[in-house]
Structure 1
Amino acid sequence: MHDHAHGAAAVSGVRGQANHRLLAISLSLTATVMIVQVVGAVLTGSLALLADAAHMFADASALVIALVASLVARRPADERNTYGYQRAEVFGALINAVILIVLCVWIAVEAIERLLNPSGIEIAGPLMIAVAVVGLVANAISMWLLSAAQRTSINVRGAYLEVLGDLIGSAVVIIAAIVITLTGWMPADALASLLISVMIVPRAVSLLREVFAVLAERAPEGTDVGTIREHILGTEGVADVHDIHVWQLTRGAPVFTAHVVVEPQVLAEGRAPALLSRLQTCLAEHFDVEHSTFQLEPVGHREHDAH
């Protein structure tokens, strides 16, 4: 006997219309500041500003991917895609992580080249400060817009982490520009660029780990399968439970299945629907699992499937 719980909570992350609008606003801000920083990098000769502009380009690409993923993820399930298209968010996040890593390598190589060959480099510090401040403010606004949505969507989190990295990068550029303005020490620009690349790596690796955890169908972070088993065994009428599987389609969309062995009187007295309801309520209230599937089996039932 099977039953499914379909909760409204699945409409989250970039799947919601409100988050779709927030991503569009953040994209507009990011693209505008990126253009300002490219112009500023050309006028000042700053590699740090150019690196920040390149990071902005990656941010804009990430937001475009997130917007496309949001449209795809909102498509309803069909006979060939029975869970819908929520995994589009995960693939979008994977692309974001790769962009971050490639960007990091490029910045590091350019920064080292300038440190090894510093002669002839002249940077306009005051203009560099002004452009970096514009980037700092814009990224702060984008982070504020995405802060709530990133808790429930892996793809929005990818965009959020990139904006966070760029916010820190803008602060580093400001510090380097102040050093150049006050002391005339030009290598500060290359050092700032190198620091930006170093700051990107942990966030990119963290995002990749989360993507691979979802694709490998590992249990969601913080989910204790042993505790779930104890809750199920503690339900009246349950004799045993086996074949427990917990995974997630994307962040905030966990899925649960299990075979539950029930006492004979539960089936004989027609109490199976009530038992299913209790089990589903337990999963939803204690473990935030809105989609659960239980197969009820009588004591002594033998599996015919090959394991």
Structure 2
Amino acid sequence: MKNNTSTKTRNNEHHHHHGIGHHQHHHGAGGHSHGDNREGNKKGLLIAFVITTSIMVLEFAGGLVTGSLALLSDSGHMLSDASSLLLSLVAMIFAAKAASPKRTFGFYRFEILAALFNGVTLFVIAFFIIKEACERFYNPPEVASGSMMLIASIGLAANMISAWMLMRKGDVKNNVNLRSAYLHVLGDMLGSVGAIVAGLVMLVFGWYVADPIISVVVALLILRGAWGVLKQAVHILMEGTPDNIDHDEVKQTLQSIDGVVDVHDLHIWTVTSGFHALSCHMRVDNDADSQAVLQQAIHRLETEYGITHSTIQTEHSHIQHEQLKL
């Protein structure tokens, strides 16, 4: 943005005000993913990681012994889940690191990268499950369904505890990193339920093709969740406007302030889940008090949209700058 005498005092006042805004972001109600809920998120992820790793080993051994694809695919999915939960945990630890002159937003984006990676691994797992299931359709092997159901039931109970811990201690709704980890656990739950149903069908009817059929159904459910996580992570990385904020509505709100002639170069983006930022140019009437207009704009963005990290350049009609490309 242009540096000019008319905006220097405004910048000083703006940064002074936003010293308070940033403080709220890191320690209070300023953001869902990096406020006082961070410890709960970490604890939930750690418990889920320990449970998932333990059950993964049990299901893998059980799948080899019983010859069940549903169990093996579930344990393979759990291997990815254990990695994903660990990655989400590491991302959360990194995100807590302080910002530096080189990384002025700190490591918050690491959480979004972790969510993106988790989404991709879910797609890869689903592909391999479907590929193996297709081969088994033509030659369904016999499966020790009783043992398979017992192991799957233990897996289901463990997954339910993991999911409950993540929901109880963490912010699954607002934090895309935590939600990607939660979806992995949810996929495991579906895998375990699928293995139990397949085992029941094979035990009662001797219909061994149920094993690959259930595997495909679970894989498709995993894909549905993965697509949602991928979409949101890519949207954030592409600096898209947050889903819960209407760009045009924000523009109208700012333009409705007395003394504002025009608002342009308005950008709203997400740094990490729950932490939104905004920048814009605001043309102010030459006779208006630009400081008072700025203060009102800052206040309305905070109270109406929860945006506490805003950078607003106020301009009078004589300010000229190049045509903006974005």
TM-score norm. by structure 2 comes to 0.87
DSSP-derived class of the 2:249 partner: helix
Give the aligned partner of residue 286 of structure 1. 304
Aligned with residue 147 of structure 2, among 103, 111, 127: 127
Give the aligned partner of residue 316 of structure 2. 298
Task: Quickly say closer, same or farther: Cα 1:53–1:130, change in 2 above 3 A.
Answer: same
Which amino acid is 1:129 matched to?
M
Deviation track 1:10-43 (CA, whole Å, cap 9, x = no partner) reads 5542771221111101101111111121122122
Find the aligned partners of 2:261 and 2:316 in 1 and give their Cα distance: 9
Deviation at 1:112, TM superposition (A): 1.1
* Corresponding residue pairs, total: 301
Aligned with residue 128 of structure 2, among 106, 117, 123: 106
Which amino acid is 1:145 matched to?
M
Where does the alignment leave 5 or more consecutive residues of structure 2 unmatched? 1-6
Give the aligned partner of residue 193 of structure 1. 215
Which amino acid is 2:296 matched to?
R
Deviation at 1:213, TM superposition (A): 0.7
Which amino acid is 2:221 matched to?
M
Q: Does 1:13 align with 2:33?
A: yes
DSSP-derived class of the 2:172 partner: helix
Give the aligned partner of residue 276 of structure 1. 294
Task: Quickly say closer, same or farther: Cα 1:14–1:173, change in 2 above 3 A.
Answer: farther
DSSP-derived class of the 1:243 partner: strand
Aligned with residue 272 of structure 2, among 250, 258, 269: 250
Find the aligned partners of 2:258 and 2:324 in 1 and give their Cα distance: 30
Find the aligned partners of 1:265 and 1:187 in 2 and give their Cα distance: 79
Find the aligned partners of 2:161 and 2:302 in 1 and give their Cα distance: 34
Deviation at 1:232, TM superposition (A): 0.7
Find the aligned partners of 2:302 and 2:186 in 1 and give their Cα distance: 32
Find the aligned partners of 1:284 and 1:27 in 2 and give their Cα distance: 37
**Does structure 2 conserve the Cα–Cα contact (< 8 Å) formed by 1:239 and 1:262?**
yes
Task: Quickly say closer, same or farther: Cα 1:22–1:14, change in 2 above 3 A.
Answer: farther
Q: Does 1:89 align with 2:111?
A: yes
Find the aligned partners of 2:98 and 2:247 in 1 and give their Cα distance: 30
DSSP-derived class of the 2:272 partner: coil
DSSP-derived class of the 1:249 partner: strand
The equivalences for 1:184-263 within 5 A come to 184-263=206-285
Give the aligned partner of residue 266 of structure 1. 288
Give the aligned partner of residue 46 of structure 2. 24
Deviation at 1:266, TM superposition (A): 3.2
DSSP-derived class of the 2:267 partner: strand
Find the aligned partners of 2:308 and 2:84 in 1 and give their Cα distance: 29
Task: Quickly say closer, same or farther: Cα 1:164–1:216, change in 2 above 3 A.
Answer: same
DSSP-derived class of the 1:198 partner: helix
Q: Does 1:53 align with 2:60?
A: no
Deviation track 1:234-290 (CA, whole Å, cap 9, x = no partner) reads 1122222111001111221111111112223333xxx60x43332122112211212
**Does structure 1 conserve the Cα–Cα contact (< 8 Å) formed by 2:153 and 2:196?**
yes
Aligned with residue 140 of structure 1, among 132, 157, 160: 160
Deviation at 1:305, TM superposition (A): 7.2
Single out whichever of 75-84 and 11-20 deviates more from structure 2: 11-20
Which amino acid is 2:316 matched to?
P
**Does structure 1 conserve the Cα–Cα contact (< 8 Å) formed by 2:115 and 2:177?**
yes
**Does structure 1 conserve the Cα–Cα contact (< 8 Å) formed by 2:108 and 2:271?**
yes
Find the aligned partners of 1:304 and 1:146 in 2 and give their Cα distance: 49
**Does structure 1 conserve the Cα–Cα contact (< 8 Å) formed by 2:242 and 2:276?**
yes
Which amino acid is 1:130 matched to?
L
Single out whichever of 218-227 and 138-147 deviates more from structure 2: 138-147
**Does structure 2 conserve the Cα–Cα contact (< 8 Å) formed by 1:14 and 1:156?**
no
Tell me the C-alpha RMSD between the 2 structures: 1.8
Which amino acid is 2:309 matched to?
H
Find the aligned partners of 2:304 and 2:158 in 1 and give their Cα distance: 39
**Does structure 1 conserve the Cα–Cα contact (< 8 Å) formed by 2:33 and 2:272?**
no
Which amino acid is 1:132 matched to?
A
Task: Quickly say closer, same or farther: Cα 1:306–1:263, change in 2 above 3 A.
Answer: closer
TM-score norm. by structure 1 comes to 0.92
Find the aligned partners of 1:105 and 1:246 in 2 and give their Cα distance: 36
Give the aligned partner of residue 153 of structure 1. 175
Give the aligned partner of residue 102 of structure 2. 80
